[in-house]
Amino acid sequence: MKITFMGAGSTVFARNVLGDCMCTEALCKSEIALYDIDEDRLKESEIILNAINKNINKGRAQIKCFLGVHNRKASLKDATFVVNAIQVGGYDPCTITDFEIPKKYGLKQTIADTMGIGGIMRALRTIPVMADFAKDMEEVCPDAFFLNYTNPMAMLTGFMQRFTKVKTIGLCHSVQVCSENLLKDLNMEDKLDGRKELIAGINHMAWLLEIYDKDGNDLYPEIKKRAEFKNSGEEKHNDMVRYEYIKHLGYYCTESSEHNAEYNPFFIKSKYPELIDKFNIPLDEYPRRCIEQIEGWQKEKNEILQNGKVTHERSKEYASYIMEAIVTNKPYKIGGNVINNGLIDNLPQDACVEVPCMVDAIGIHPTYVGKLPTQLAAMNMSNINAQLLAIEAAVTKDRTKIYQAAMMDPHTAAELSIDDIVKVCDEMIDAHGDYMKDFNK
C-alpha cells in the first residue's frame, strides 16, 4: 500500500497524519511518498518522519521523497491514498497580499482562508494546481482516494468532486472536537461520555443540530443558558461570536469564532468598530499565526534534529482512520465534505456540504440529513453563493465571475461598494502575478 503526501513540507501536519499511519497496524508498513516543491522543507520532513518511523515503527514504513513538479507523477504512481496539504503561494507573498490589499480598501479580515476576498483568491490560485494533481492521478493511480485538507475546503473539494474523476473527500479538524470543546468550555465535562450528536452544514459552518447525553436528555437548553450567561459577563473569551450564534440562531457551529467573525456581515463593520472589542475579534489573526508558527517551527526543528528523539501518538485527525476503515473493512464514522446531491434538502445540489459519512472497504458513504432549520440554511447559503461562483471562475477563466463571487461574499458586500469590490479584485489579481495568470487581462 502506498500513501502519497502532497505538500509534505507542511512538516507539522505531515508528522501528525503520517505519524498516525505509523501508529496504525494496518498502515504501518506502507510505502510513504513525500512530495513538495520546497527542497529544504521536504528534507526536514524526511528527517523527522524517518525518526518517527525508527522510534515508534521499527522502521517498517518505506519513506521516499519526490521534489519538484517533474517528479510529481512518480510520487503519485500506484498510490492507494493521497493526502493533500499544499499552500500555493505560502505566507510570503500570497497570504500577505490577501490581507494587505483589502485593508487598503477598509476591508478587515481575521483568517481569510475560507471565505472573503482572501478565501476566493486562495481558491483561484490553488485550483489549477489541484487540477494538475487530478490529471496525474487519473493516469497513474485512478483508484486512489484523495483526502483534501487544504482550504478553502468547500471550493477546492467542490471543484475536485464536480470537475474531476478523482475520489475526493474533504476533511477538517473541527467536527470531531466541536461538542467536546463546547461542553468543556461551559463546565459540562460530565456530559462528555456517551454523548450523541448530529452535525451538518458546510465546512467551517456546520451546525451542532442535536446533542444528547448518554441517557438521551437534550443538552441544548443548558448549553444555551450557560452560553448566554458567559457572553453577558464582563470577562471576554475567545468564543464570543459562536455563543452569539447560539443566542440568535439557536445553534452552535463547528469552526472557531475568529473564523466565523468574517463569514457574515454582523461583526466586522467599519460603522461599528466597537464590535471588534465587544466580541474579542482578532483581526489579522492568520498572518500573526503564520509568523508565530514559522518562528516556533525553527526552534522545534532544531530540537528535533539535534536529539532525534521525536515520537508520536495517534491524533484525532480523520486521515488514518479513513485509511484503516477502507483497508480493514472496519466501519468508521467521520464528518466529511461531499457534493450535496440531496443530502441536505434546503441547500443547492452542487454545493459542497459537510455531513456524517460512514467509511468501509467499499469507500466513503455520505448520509442523508434532511432539512436544516431555515436560519441555518440561510447562513450557509450566504457562503455557498460565493463558493459556487469562485469555482465557476476557476473553471471558466472568467474574470467577471471573480467579481461576482466577491460581491456575494457577506462581509465584503457589507463593507464595500461594487466599484471598490472590482478594484480590490483587480489589484489582487495583478499582485498575485503568475498565480493568477489565467485571469490576466
Cβ contact 22:149 at 8 Å: no
CA 175/CA 69 separation, integer angstroms: 33
**Does 352 belong to an annotated binding site?**
no
pLDDT, residue 309, reads: 77
pLDDT, residue 155, reads: 98
Domain 2-90+112-172, CATH 3.50.50.60 — does that match?
no
pLDDT, residue 128, reads: 98
pLDDT, residue 441, reads: 65
CA 393/CA 152 separation, integer angstroms: 15
Average pLDDT rounded to a whole number, residues 38-42? 94
CA 100/CA 355 separation, integer angstroms: 35
pLDDT, residue 301, reads: 76
Average pLDDT rounded to a whole number, residues 356-361? 98
Q: What is the mean pLDDT of the chain?
A: 96
Q: Which of 70, 173, 248, 259 is catalytic?
A: 173
- The burial class, CB within 10 Å (0-12 / 13-18 / 19+), for 5 is buried
Q: Which of 232, 235, 285, 329 is nearest to 110 (CA)?
A: 285
Average pLDDT rounded to a whole number, residues 70-78? 98
> Which range among 28-32, 174-178, 291-295, 374-378 shows the weakest confidence by mean pLDDT?
291-295
pLDDT in tens, 14-27: 999 999 999 999 99
418: cell is: 461594487
pLDDT in tens, 287-307: 999 988 888 777 777 777 777
Residue 433 has pLDDT above 80, yes or no: yes
Residue 271 burial (CB count, 10 A): 7
What is the dotted CATH code of the domain comprising 91-111+173-310+328-435? 3.90.1820.10
Higher pLDDT, 309 or 171: 171
Q: What are phi and psi of 64, to 5 degrees?
A: -130, 150
Is 237 noted as a catalytic residue in this protein? no
pLDDT in tens, 230-240: 999 889 999 99
Kindly write down the DSSP assignment for every residue of 235-246, as one continuous string. S--TTHHHHHHH
pLDDT in tens, 394-410: 999 999 999 999 999 99
Secondary structure letter of residue 92 according to DSSP: I
CA 326/CA 145 separation, integer angstroms: 10
- Would strands 205-212 and 352-360 be described as parallel, antiparallel, or unpaired? unpaired
Residue 262 burial (CB count, 10 A): 28
Q: Which residues pair with 354 in a beta bridge?
A: 201, 337
pLDDT band at 311 (very low <50, low <70, confident <90, very high): confident
pLDDT band at 119 (very low <50, low <70, confident <90, very high): very high
**Does 23 belong to an annotated binding site?**
no
Q: What pTM value is reported for the model?
A: 0.97
pLDDT in tens, 136-169: 999 999 999 999 999 999 999 999 999 999 999 9
Secondary structure letter of residue 69 according to DSSP: G
Domain boundaries, the chain: 2-90+112-172, 91-111+173-310+328-435
pLDDT, residue 310, reads: 84
**Does 172 belong to an annotated binding site?**
yes
pLDDT band at 53 (very low <50, low <70, confident <90, very high): very high
Kindly state the helix (H) or strand (E) to which residue 427 belongs, with its residue range: helix 418-432
pLDDT, residue 68, reads: 97
Percent of the chain scoring above 90 in pLDDT: 93
pLDDT in tens, 161-190: 999 999 999 999 999 999 999 999 999 999
Cα end-to-end distance, the chain, whole Å: 46
